[in-house]
Amino acid sequence: MRKILVIGAGKSTAYLMNYFLEKSDSEQLELHVADLNPENVPFFVSSHPSCKVIPLDIMDDSQRISCIKEADIVVSMLPARFHIKVAEDCLNFGKHLVTASYISKEIRALDNAVKEKGLVFMNEIGLDPGIDHMSAMKIIDSIRDKGGKMLLFESFTGGLVAPESDNNLWNYKFTWNPRNVVMAGQGGAAKFIQEGTYKYIPYHKLFRRTEFLDIPGYGKFEAYPNRDSLNYREDYGLKDVLTLYRGTMRRVGFSKAWNMFVQLGMTDDQYVIENSEGMSYRDFTNLFLPYSPTDSVELKLRHYLKIDQDDIMWEKLIELDLFNPHKFFTLKNATPAQLLQKILEEKWTLNEDEKDMIVMYHKFGYELKGQKKQIDANMVVIGEDRTYTAMAKTVGLPVAIATLAILNGRIKTPGVQIPIRKEVYEPILKELASHDVVFQEYQVPYLGYNPDSVAS
């Protein structure tokens, strides 16, 4: 039996573990699942005869090393900051490693040593990053194979609520780590290239600079730019491209509403509120508003944000219970961002039978034989329920498929890497299609950048 160790059994692992267990007989696999809270591992996993659940504190060196030494390949689904500990152990004990996270500087620094040992450390093999890399490189490589020259590349991804479960004014529910949503865009200005000009958008302006997109059959969306759209310019071979823009998709109106939190300061994670425990939601909202001996919290907020009582923005705030004096926080010494997250989780958590939706959209502009052309491509995946989400499917399946391909020697180029080579993306995209994770491609007239976009 070949042992696959999965470290971390969070929300995105249902399809991942199911994939391995379904293939456990035909591929002679034994699945080891290590987690700090083993009782949270789903019963369909823990009860499977080919599965072994292991309690693991990732900071306990002896526990971690013991788990990794037993494995033939390691999948780390931990928060990104813990990957380096796993990676160093995998290097020391000669184990391949797969993660869905962005490559950190620390892991990238292991590249030469990983190559010397003939190991594959595959990173960014989830959804975004992951499916975005593979689907984009497939089309970019096909354009180049025909002799085309890339002029423009735009890429957008959104983890959203499915239309049939869209029942709040924000048109949004959490399908991923809520903290990542609250902290989105922080840590520096967003930067990208548009028509040969570098563009920079500071955090306090980010959610008012959106680009609008239409997905056939699913309507209109908006997108705000990711923090650094230029990270993959060299990896994709797009150093001379005129437009390079990567962004996050939401339903139209979300960004304008979210900007209210940014302007109030509720997304700040740099300081703690000492008396947060026992504070009411109403008092929390009042923290960010000027003192007035006569005006209510509601009136002060409307004046501060310049919104009318009949504005949909006001209705969105009311829906979140921000002014409720009878709801209280239990978090001690929490930051504003942590308290905002608590409020949002009460309203934006999927119910058991509700579905999420993943939407991805690429735009490719290129020149071929003197003519400018454009390909648009999009992917939409709808989840089954709160456990088998579209997010879990599109993150977990690429990880699982890549893991088995490495284990079986079908992916063998060593080093710390992302899935941008044909050896990697062709078989993975082909298998994803069999799971209804498919891109639709359209040849459309070349439009260049969108003059109606606020981001231009």
Question: How far from 147 is each of 216, 313, 420, CA to CA, in Å?
Answer: 29, 49, 19
Rounded Cα distance between 159 and 390, Å, is 8
Is pLDDT above 60 for 136?
A: yes
- Whether the CA torsion 171, 174, 179, 180 is positive or negative: it is negative
- Are 213 and 156 in contact by the 8 Å Cβ rule? The answer is yes
- Residue 98 vs residues 4, 32, 34, 90, 438: alpha-carbon distances, Å: 11, 15, 15, 10, 23
* Band of residue 11 on the pLDDT scale cut at 50, 70, 90: confident
Phi, psi of 275 (to 5 degrees): -105, 35
Contacts of 129 (CB under 8 A, 6+ apart): 100, 102, 418
Look at residue 177 in the predicted model and tell me its pLDDT: 86
131-255+352-390+437-444 placed in CATH 3.20.20.30 = no
Report which residue type is found at 77: M
pLDDT band at 452 (very low <50, low <70, confident <90, very high): very low
60-86 pLDDT per residue, tens: 999 999 999 999 999 999 988 999 999
Say how many C-beta atoms besides its own lie within 10 A of residue 279's C-beta: 19
Confidence of residue 456 (pLDDT cuts 50, 70, 90): very low
The pLDDT score that the predictor gives to residue 172 is 97
**Would you say residue 17 has pLDDT above 60?**
yes
Residue 42 has pLDDT above 90, yes or no: no
pLDDT score of 450 more than 80: no
List % helix, strand, coil for the chain (3-state, nearest 5): 35, 25, 40
* pLDDT at residue 451, rounded to an integer: 44
Does 186 score more than 70 pLDDT? Answer: yes
Q: What is the pLDDT of residue 447?
A: 78
Q: Which helix (H) or strand (E) holds 220?
A: strand 219-225
pLDDT of residue 129: 93
Report the amino acid identity of residue 441: E
High-pLDDT (> 90) share of the chain, %: 90
- Predicted local distance difference test score (pLDDT) of residue 265: 97
Contact present, 415 and 353 (Cβ < 8 Å)? no
46-60 per-position pLDDT tens digit: 999 999 999 999 999
Q: What is the DSSP string of 389-419?
A: -HHHHHHHHHHHHHHHHHHTTSS---EEE-S
Region 1-21: mean pLDDT is 92
The answer as to CATH 3.40.50.720 being correct for domain 2-122 is yes
Percent of the chain past pLDDT 70, that is, above it, reads 98
Instruction: Please check the confidence at residue 303 and state whether its pLDDT lies above 90.
Output: yes
Domains 2-122 and 131-255+352-390+437-444 share a fold: no
- The confidence band for 455, taking pLDDT boundaries of 50, 70 and 90, is very low
Mean pLDDT across the chain, nearest whole number? 94
DSSP codes joined into one string, 140-184: HHHHHHTT-EEEEEEEEEEEEE-GGG--STT---BSS-HHHHHTT
Mean pLDDT across 414-434 = 96
Paired with 222 in beta bridges are: 212, 250
Question: What pLDDT is stored for residue 449 in this prediction?
Answer: 58
pTM check: above 0.85: yes
Instruction: State residue 10's pLDDT score.
Output: 80
pLDDT at 446: 87
Domain boundaries, the chain: 2-122, 131-255+352-390+437-444, 258-348
228 torsion bin: left (phi>0), alpha (psi -120 to 50), beta (else): beta
